[in-house]
Amino acid sequence: MTRLMTSALALTMVAGTAFAQESDDNMDDAAQNAEQAVENAGEATENAAEDAAQATENAAEDTAQATENAAEDAAQATENAAENTEQAAENAGDEISEETAEMTGNAEDAQLIRTRDITDGPVYSVNSEEGVENFGAETYEEVGSDWNQIGTIEDVVLTRSGEFRGLVIEVGGFLDLGDKHVFLEIDDVQLVPVDDRSYALAIGQSEEQLEEMEGVDEGFWN
């Protein structure tokens, strides 16, 4: 009987020891699992932070590139506009030179003429008595000895696009008193060289015919 009790006690102790060992193992596994979960959570947080930082960096680079592209486009547009304006001015200057060349009757050999070489220049009537009906049929290379000065060149008139339209002539009066300003189209006048730097204007109308024309003032151009 005593032997049986001893054996049962021994079995109980062995079983308890085994149970305790199993409990320890389970606790160790649980601790390891918890530690692994914490480690995984930390890695996930670190990865999320890195992804957010990379996304922010990419967004900043995209914004910087877009700004740079916009600045380059604006600079190119400004450069193109400047080139177009310069070309338009050059074209207008060429057109004026061609029109002036036609007036002098020497288009192929014409040189550039400045407005200061024209304004205040003398205006001569080719026929101061009756005028010339078919003015322009003849080209005048110099001032005729029988021409009469009847006025002066007051101004040069261009269109908004730079086309040479004609001249304003001051006629009549004395010392700017009682004078009159009239506008003559380009086909009604011819520039005649006086010397290498100045020009006179030949017209077909007589002084009386100019006096009968409509005068021009500031309101005329509006």
Give per-residue pLDDT as tens, 165-194.
899 999 876 656 667 899 999 888 888 888
Please, what are the domains in the chain? Answer: 115-217 (2.30.30.240)
pLDDT, mean of residues 79-102: 67
Judged by average pLDDT, the poorest of 89-93, 113-117, 207-211 is 89-93
Closest CA to 203 of 190, 194, 214, 213: 190
- CB 152 within 8 Å of CB 123: yes
* Residue 26 vs residue 74, higher pLDDT: 74
- Residue 183's pLDDT is 93
- pLDDT tens-place string over residues 30-42: 778 777 877 787 7
The answer, yes or no, to whether residue 6 has pLDDT greater than 80, is: no
- Among 217, 110, 204, 213, CA closest to 155: 217
